[in-house]
Amino acid sequence: MNRPEAEKPLDLPPIFVDRALDSPLFIEPLRTAQVRIGHLTGFLEVHAHNDLFAPDTPDETWISHCGQKGWIVFTKDSRIRYRQMERQAVQTYNARLFNLATRKNMTAEENAQAFIKAIQRIAQFVRRHKSPFIAKVSRDGKVEMLLDL
């Protein structure tokens, strides 16, 4: 028996928000936004860094956790792709990171809106690209590959 559309899960893995974005002003808009992906409308499953890890947990620890669980990562730490241990964790654990790329400081709410605006493109990107990778999300909702590992 088919479930009604509202009860079907969205075609997007759970989202992990790293500590660089982990604030209620960022998390709550993601959790409460009703988004449309394909022909389904629903809510995102969002996990916050500080709900699962201590604030000083090394990046490679949560990257490996997310990769093993098949989650996607939202971050604004553009340096992850340059640091050997983090990059190695992305590659080893088949992680999928989406880095918010901005040239100016944006508020947490603006950061959340940029990801919400890009959510359909993020879902398409996840379907089209094999992990591991690091992609960039721009303020206007564009999604581009930064590093295909």
- Residues 109, 26 contacting (CB under 8 angstroms): yes
Summarize pLDDT for 1-10 with one digit per residue, the tens: 444 444 456 7
Structure confidence at residue 9 (pLDDT): 62
Which strands make up the sheet holding 15-17, listed edge to edge? 46-48, 15-17, 72-75, 96-101, 133-138, 143-148
Segment among 1-15, 48-62, 72-86, 98-112 with least mean pLDDT: 1-15
Positive/negative CA dihedral, 11, 100, 31, 19: positive
Distance CA 40, CA 93 (A): 29
Instruction: For the chain, give the mean pLDDT.
Output: 91
Positive/negative CA dihedral, 24, 99, 81, 73: positive
140 pLDDT above the threshold of 60: yes
Q: For residue 11, name the pLDDT band (cuts at 50, 70, 90).
A: confident
> Which of 54, 73, 55, 75 shows the shortest CA–CA distance to 64?
73
Structure confidence at residue 104 (pLDDT): 74
Residues 6+ apart with CB under 8 A from 71: 13, 14, 15, 16, 47, 96
* 64 vs 104: which has the higher pLDDT: 64
Largest CA distance in the chain: 49
Summarize pLDDT for 95-122 with one digit per residue, the tens: 999 999 976 788 999 999 999 999 999 9
Report helix, strand or coil for 19: coil
133 pLDDT above the threshold of 60: yes
50 pLDDT above the threshold of 90: yes
- pTM of the shown model: 0.91
* 19 vs 102: which has the higher pLDDT: 19
